[in-house]
Amino acid sequence: MKKNISNIVIFRLSSIGDIILTSALVRCLRSTYPDAKIDFVVKRQFKHITELMPEIDTIHTFNSDGGFSELLSLRTKLASKKYDVMLDIHKNWRSAFIRNTIGARRVYTFNKHTFKRYLMIRFKIDAYNIVRPVYLRFVDAAQKLGVVYDDKKTGLAIPAETQKHVDNYLEDHGIKPHKPLVVLCPGASFYNKEWQKEKFLELAQIIITQKNMQVVLLGGSKEQETCTYIATTINQKILSVAGQFNLKESAALLNRAQATVANDTGMLHMSEALKVPVVGIYGPTVRQFGYFPVLAKSKVARVELACRPCTKMGMNTCPKETFDCTQKISVSSVYSQLCSILDSPVL
């Protein structure tokens, strides 16, 4: 089969975490097909993530604001490439349209476990015999191509110039390069995945005073208000870079940390792809969905409630109007998990 495959395209438009989780698939594809052309289709705003996967040859971007005409333009471009293989790692209506119209000789998709997930959410019935992380299900999509998983989990490669730029920025803003650093990521795509900003503030205070470690707050423009609140309210030195770094630069920051504390978001998966362990704060979702941390040193902070899970990806509301799944996660429990990562005494 290898002789007949020289041109491959991977389709995954969003979001940050899912794109990062394709990195193992990309790496294993390159290992199996070292001379093939491997392209990737992604939303324009997430291009920086795929630039951290050196195995990719060409990145095709999609502007979702352009509507169906933009999708038609993308279809025309991809059809002209005459791909031998398309790997649909998104499985939505856009990817279905593309995979059925670009004329790729072979098309493969991954297993979303949609029905099992529905049973978990709607009836709390666990039909998952084996909990398989999503990034491995992405690799499974290429099994028929002879691709074998290499046991290296996810991975990203940061360009030297990006790392140097971020290192210089941090030092210019008072972060000492040889002093331990913890990155806190208080943002989330949905409100019911957000741990309270007051608890992130309390955690930051404890890390600085009890552990004598530096703390940097990381987020996008949406998190600027939250991070500014924490940075200006705390009576300790702390740096917020929310809204200052692009995704590539965010990776370079995480690459300098000893540990990351994050909600169930893309930054959690980015940290793990850089082999920086995380304390993941998980509210409405569960391990069976495949998005829990995978590094041996990483930890999960959660409370066991009968109403979990209530959603596959998050919501801005709570069916019980309590948000208990995040509200009841204590600062002491998260700090305890962090200390176990850092091999330090527990509070």
Mean pLDDT of 94-102: 97
Per-residue pLDDT, 2: 67
Is pLDDT at 269 greater than 50 in this prediction?
Answer: yes
Please check the confidence at residue 333 and state whether its pLDDT lies above 70: yes
Domains and CATH numbers, the chain: 2-145 (3.40.50.2000), 160-342 (3.40.50.2000)
- Hey, what are 142's tokens? 């290429």
pLDDT at 313: 86
Q: What DSSP string runs through 226-259?
A: HHHHHHHHSSS--EE-TTT--HHHHHHHHTT-SE
Mean pLDDT on 221-234 = 95
Pick the closest to residue 261 from 236, 281, 241, 244 (CA basis): 281
pLDDT surpasses 70 at 244: yes
Report the C-alpha gap between 53 and 24 in whole angstroms: 10
Cβ atoms of residues 86 and 60 within 8 Å: no
> What is each CA distance from 17 to 23, 110, 174, 305, 330, in whole angstroms?
10, 16, 30, 25, 25
Across the chain, mean pLDDT equals 95
- For the chain, the C-alpha Rg in angstroms (whole number) is 21
Return the pLDDT at 345. Answer: 45
Q: Which residue, 176, 260, 280, 276, is CA-closest to 218? A: 260
Q: What is the DSSP secondary structure assignment for residue 102, as one 8-state letter?
A: S
Q: Let me know if 122 is exposed, middle or buried by CB neighbors in 10 A (0-12, 13-18, 19+).
A: exposed
Residue 347 has what pLDDT?
Answer: 44
Position 211 pLDDT exceeds 80: yes
Tell me the average pLDDT across 50-59. Answer: 98
Question: How crowded is the C-beta side of 215, counted as CA atoms within 13 Å?
Answer: 28
pLDDT bin (cut points 50, 70, 90) of residue 58 is very high
What percent of the chain stands above pLDDT 90? 93
**1-10, 28-37, 228-237, 240-249: segment of lowest average pLDDT:** 1-10
Question: Which has more confidence, 259 or 3?
Answer: 259
When mean pLDDT is compared across 158-162, 265-269, 285-289, 342-346, the lowest value belongs to: 342-346
